[in-house]
Amino acid sequence: MTTFENKSELKGKRALVTGGSRGIGAAVVRGLLDAGAEVLTTARSTTTAAPEGAAFVTADVRTPAGVEALASAAREVLGEVDILVHNVGGAEPYKDALAIPDEGWRDALDLNYLASVRLDSLLAPGMRERRSGAIVHVSSAAVLTPIGPFLHYVAAKAALEYYSRGLALELAPHGVRVNAVSPGRTATPGGEATRELWARLDAAPGHGDVTAPPLGREGRPEDIAEAVLFLVSERASWLTGRNLIVDGGEYPMG
């Protein structure tokens, strides 16, 4: 899938994408490369190769040490970071909200919220000094209709969205834009594995509902990547502090 007609739209830009070895993250990486950007991406393991043309480093962003190692690798490989896309995320479903253990809450917050906060704190100051940069946090449209088995996940993503708005206001006077993208149901390896696990649980009513979104299909990773790539480009130069919901019309307006 061709993302940019102008193959040099992001030429000279240096981008870091977390969770970029498969699914939405890999589609974002491919789109950035197609547009001429230099890209570094990361995952927790090396079992899945990153898209061809991207640099890759293994990092566990659930921990402060892992985030610091990733930031150091980004500076070493890219020099500076102009585009930062926080795509990494996910959580294990439980039977219901009250069954989520303390470690489940901690892991969800570390991966889906604090990883972004920590990495921004290390890389956004450089953007602020250069008075240029774009940050995109990948959230989830599920925040609009939270359900018990995933309450730890959607609560962390809701925190990420409000954090994004606040950071956008703080960085806007310095020429740095911060936005969020909230995917609906998207056909990715991680999403499929999570849905299979959920189907085996005696979860909340409706958890097995597979009705297609109003547009008649699940999203493709490229559908979400298009939104991310638009937001990091100059075509979105007057957009900041926004959350773009890409869900095929599945969720009600927030």
- Given the residues 153, 162, 163, 251, select the one marked as catalytic: 153
Closest CA to 36 of 10, 5, 2: 10
Rounded to the nearest 5°, which phi and psi values hold at 142?
-65, -15
Neighbours of 103 (CB within 10 A): 8
CA angle 161, 19, 106 (to 5 degrees): 55
Closest CA to 179 of 117, 116, 137, 222: 137
Does the annotation mark 153 as catalytic? yes
Terminal-residue alpha carbon distance, the chain: 31
Quote the CA–CA distance of 240 and 231 in Å, as a whole number.
9
Give the dihedral sign, CA 23/27/33/38.
negative
Q: Are strands 55-58 and 83-86 parallel, antiparallel or unpaired?
A: unpaired
**Residues designated as active site:** 153
